[in-house]
Amino acid sequence: MSPESRAKGLKVALVLFGTICFLIYPLAAIWPSGWVWHSGGGQHYFQMICGIYAVLGWFLIRASSAPQNHKSLIGFTIWSSIVHAVIMAIQVSHDHMEIGHLVGDIPALIIVAAVLWYLSPRVSETPRTSERTSK
């Protein structure tokens, strides 16, 4: 994949994943076993998660206009998604009532991390600081 097509794909992915972050609540209403933990008993927890993901979604959409200026946000999204998915997978292994998450939010987080990682510019494609300032 060329750097140009990767950059275009990254912009689209940031908007798509940012929009999906706003849809966590409706996804949970449609498919609670794949998106809501503790059988919905932890409403305060779920509201907090929806709020955090809405903020992340807003910043991902904003970052889509110039992803090269938001590498740390993209990196945070990749790594926090991986950590979140691993922790949830471990929790599912101990609480089989939450098994629906293995086909719901856990794979979704892994997909987000994998796509953003794949579409992120490679180190060899990133201009060095001295090259950027000399232009």
**Phi/psi at 68 (5° precision):** -60, -20
What pLDDT sits at residue 42? 60
Q: What is the model's pTM?
A: 0.80
- All residue ranges of the chain with pLDDT < 70 are 33-35, 37-43, 97-99, 101, 103, 123-135
